[in-house]
Amino acid sequence: MDNSWEWFIKRFETLSKIDLTAYKRPQMERRINSFMRSAGVQQYKDFIILLTNDANLYRKFLEHITINVSEFFRNANHWQVLEKQVIPELIKERRGIRVWSAGCSTGEEPYSLAMMIKEKKVPVIERILATDIDQEVLDKAVKGVYSSKGVQGVPPSYLTRYFKRSGDSYQISEEIRTMVNFQRQDMLKDVFGRDFDLILCRNVVIYFTEETKNRLYMKFAKALRSKGVLFIGSTEQIFQARELGLKSIATFFYQKD
């Protein structure tokens, strides 16, 4: 039986539908090898058998490779730009806006948006779409329960208004939860919706190869309506923005022509 990296990613795709060739290989290989070591296996073929037979380990492995760390209002100064500059501009000529958080992990990002939208009375056409490839994080997001450390980035007034505390955990209120529509989606394979006014895709593409990144930014540009805005992560930049019909309107914000 073949035991190469290429063999492994093919078998893994059959098992999970996740295409690891789109992710940066050295990083991915390192993460996978360290996981295999901690699971006590050395060969890819043994690892595939283990993943196939042990649902618990399989779930842990998915969590490990999709790297789903998130925070409320991650990079607070960029959220200030969103609130004070980008959103007011977007709603100037619109009855309401359509918003999508792509790669939403455990929900901190779409819930941050929902709280801001509620607080600033931003008109929205429909619920905020929040998608991720990992069903496990989506299940957590729907529950909306976070530790006290997890809610550190939430402004105190929002914490009082939009969370219910129970011991060391905080649950996001029903009114905020119902503003978000969580759906499983693989952004590399699935078809995107259209006419979004605001798309957030932050801290996801860092794991992808340059080619995958470019393909993805093209898909996001197409999914935006004219004048719609793409908000990206604080270590990211879109080099071919002009070719995609995007222009930078603030650091980490790109607007479609």
CB-facing half-sphere around the CA of 251: CA atoms within 13 A: 7
Cβ of residue 116: shortest distance to ligand SAM, in angstroms?
A: 15
Per CB under 6 A, 71 contacts ligand SAM: yes
Q: Which is nearer to ligand SAM, 1 or 191 (CB)?
A: 191
In sequence order, what E strands does the chain have? 99-102, 128-132, 145-147, 163-166, 169-172, 180-184, 196-201, 224-232, 246-250, 253-256
Q: Which is nearer to ligand SAM, 134 or 197 (CB)?
A: 134
Question: Cα–Cα distance between 63 and 48 in angstroms, integer?
Answer: 16
**What tokens were used for 49?**
């058998």
Q: Using CB under 6 A, which of the segments 8-16, 37-45, 97-105, 167-175 binds ligand SAM?
A: 97-105
Distance between CA atoms of residues 105 and 112, nearest Å: 13
Tell me whether residue 67 or residue 145 sits nearer to ligand SAM (CB atom).
67
Rank residues 164 and 215 by Cβ distance to ligand SAM and give the closer one. Answer: 215
In sequence order, what are the residues at sequence separation of 6 or more whose Cβ sits closer than 8 angstroms to the Cβ of residue 174?
A: none
Question: Does 67 engage in binding with ligand SAM (CB under 6 A)?
Answer: yes
Q: Which one of 113, 124, 137, 223 is in contact with ligand SAM (CB under 6 A)?
A: 137
Sheet of strand 163-166: strand arrangement: 145-147, 169-172, 163-166
- Contact call for residue 133 and ligand SAM (CB under 6 A): yes
Interface with ligand SAM by CB under 6 A: which residues? 66-71, 74, 103-105, 108-109, 132-134, 137, 185-188, 202-204, 233
